[in-house]
């Protein structure tokens, strides 16, 4: 049976420079190893019963990890458009199959891509990065800086509802007072990823894959005591470094004014904001990502909330999902035949084709 219309929502691939560096060494900062599975996913939803269907792939943020990709071994928090283009080109070289598959998908009839920008791929706000991505993949790509809504469905990455990751997507750049160049106006959370998490991953590559972090701290206290104290004191040194930086912008941004502290303490959680969107608007479905934890909630009578999770490995320390997990989850939105029937959303897990082995080390 043929399908007429379909939308697919994915998020949080965090694609980096590739599994191996140009000199052949393993890249311990790479988090995405699902190139073949993703290629199979796109091929499946653009052939056979889906060959002529209207299929839109919705990338719901953090598809690339443009914050942590280094250039010649160096990571900077002064992210210009030129540096962003170099990072995107490095990702292209490291994951050719991903880009080839996206292009093949877009070249088929009635296939398109909607790209919602997250916090780790915020450099995609630069027009040059969007132009380069379209040149690599196809002209049918549309970019959305904050959210994408259609047919009663609201899709957003989710970072903009967090105090530490919120920033103005309409004024996303500033003139750097030291270099005179236009650079991204990064929020606290992005500075933390670049200055603290990036360094931590070089020593413990799994440090940003463990959930919940509170239990990870407890585990470190008993099993990795030195790194435990480092994890506690690093945020303090991070704040001091930026509060007393030579960059006037950072000195202002990291000033702990009473108003800023009050905002941090009273800022609503992503979960609470998403619930309010569903309750106070006409949307019947809200889809987010960002947390790397797939999930579904029925908030009857208002509607449904989905989290697309991630295609990266995650280490869960909570009892309900204890252990290392790789899920490749996504939301499939189908359109039933017949007038006035709303689209139906389902959280699914992609298995793909059977392969007798996969590379895990070496």
Can you state the angle between helices 127-137 and 81-94, rounded to 10 degrees?
20
- If phi > 0 it is left, if psi is from -120 to 50 it is alpha, else beta; for residue 309 that is left
With respect to residue 148, please indicate whether it lies within any of the assigned structural domains. yes
Quick one: which of 312, 348, 299 has its CA closest to 209? 312
With respect to residue 337, please indicate whether it lies within any of the assigned structural domains. yes
- Please report which helix (H) or strand (E) contains residue 251, including its range: helix 248-253
With respect to residue 361, please indicate whether it lies within any of the assigned structural domains. no
Half-sphere exposure of residue 218, counting CA atoms within 13 Å on the CB side?
A: 7
Residue 195: partners with Cβ closer than 8 Å, 6 or more residues away: 77, 238, 241, 242
Cis before residue 188, ω within 30 degrees of 0? no
Tens of pLDDT along 302-358? 999 999 999 999 888 877 778 788 999 999 999 987 777 889 999 999 998 877 777
Question: According to the model, what pLDDT value does residue 21 have?
Answer: 84
With respect to residue 359, please indicate whether it lies within any of the assigned structural domains. no
Quick one: which of 140, 158, 153, 152 has its CA closest to 55? 140
Paired with 59 in beta bridges are 10, 115
Domains: count for the chain: 1
Question: Average pLDDT, whole number, for the chain?
Answer: 91
Asked if the model's pLDDT at residue 170 lies above 60, the reply is yes
Radius of gyration of the chain, Cα coordinates, nearest whole angstrom: 21
With respect to residue 360, please indicate whether it lies within any of the assigned structural domains. no
With respect to residue 107, please indicate whether it lies within any of the assigned structural domains. yes
Residue range of the domain that includes 191? 5-349
Q: Do 165 and 184 touch, CB atoms closer than 8 A?
A: no
Tens of pLDDT along 79-131? 999 999 999 999 999 999 999 999 999 999 999 999 999 999 999 999 999 99
Pick 258 or 140 by higher pLDDT.
Answer: 140
User: CB count, 10 Å around CB of 280?
Assistant: 9
Q: Do 140 and 113 touch, CB atoms closer than 8 A?
A: yes
With respect to residue 29, please indicate whether it lies within any of the assigned structural domains. yes
Paired with 185 in beta bridges are none
* Ranges 84-88, 136-140, 238-242: which has the least confidence: 238-242
With respect to residue 178, please indicate whether it lies within any of the assigned structural domains. yes
Any idea what the CATH number is for the domain that residue 33 is in? Answer: 3.60.21.10
As a whole number of angstroms, the longest Cα–Cα distance in the chain is 64
Asked if the model's pLDDT at residue 214 lies above 90, the reply is no
Q: Do 45 and 348 touch, CB atoms closer than 8 A?
A: no
């Amino acid at each position: 049976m043929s399908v007429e219309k379909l939308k697919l929502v994915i998020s949080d691939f965090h694609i980096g420079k590739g599994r191996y560096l140009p000199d052949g060494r393993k890249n311990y900062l790479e988090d995405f190893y699902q190139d073949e599975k993703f290629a199979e996913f796109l091929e499946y939803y653009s052939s056979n019963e889906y060959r002529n269907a209207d299929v839109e792939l919705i990338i719901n943020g953090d598809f690339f990890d443009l914050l942590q990709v280094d250039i010649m071994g160096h990571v900077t928090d002064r992210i210009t458009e030129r540096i962003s283009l170099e990072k995107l080109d490095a990702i292209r070289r490291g994951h050719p199959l991903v880009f080839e598959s996206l292009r093949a998908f877009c070249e088929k009839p009635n296939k398109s891509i909607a790209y919602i920008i997250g916090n780790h791929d915020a450099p995609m706000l630069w027009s040059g990065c969007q132009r380069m991505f379209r040149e690599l993949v196809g002209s049918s790509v549309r970019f959305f800086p904050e959210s994408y809504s259609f047919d009663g469905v609201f899709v957003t990455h989710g970072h903009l509802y967090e105090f530490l990751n919120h920033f103005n997507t309409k004024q996303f750049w500033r003139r750097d007072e030291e270099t005179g160049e236009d650079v991204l106006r990064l929020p606290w959370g992005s500075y933390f990823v670049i200055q603290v998490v990036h360094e931590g991953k070089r020593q413990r590559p799994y440090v940003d894959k463990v959930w919940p972090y509170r239990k990870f701290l407890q585990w470190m206290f008993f099993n990795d005591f030195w790194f435990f104290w480092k994890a506690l004191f690093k945020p303090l040194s991070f704040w001091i470094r930026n509060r007393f930086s030579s960059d006037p912008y950072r000195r202002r941004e990291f000033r702990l004014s009473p108003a800023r502290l009050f905002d941090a303490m009273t800022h609503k959680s992503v979960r609470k904001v998403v619930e309010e969107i569903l309750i106070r608007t006409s949307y019947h479905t809200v889809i987010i990502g960002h947390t790397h934890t797939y999930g579904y909630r029925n908030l009857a009578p208002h509607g449904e909330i989905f989290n697309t999770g991630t295609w990266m490995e995650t280490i869960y320390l909570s009892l309900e999902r204890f252990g290392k997990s790789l899920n490749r989850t996504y939301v499939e939105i189908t359109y039933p035949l017949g007038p006035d029937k709303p689209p139906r959303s389902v959280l699914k897990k992609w298995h793909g084709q059977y392969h007798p082995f996969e590379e895990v080390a070496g």
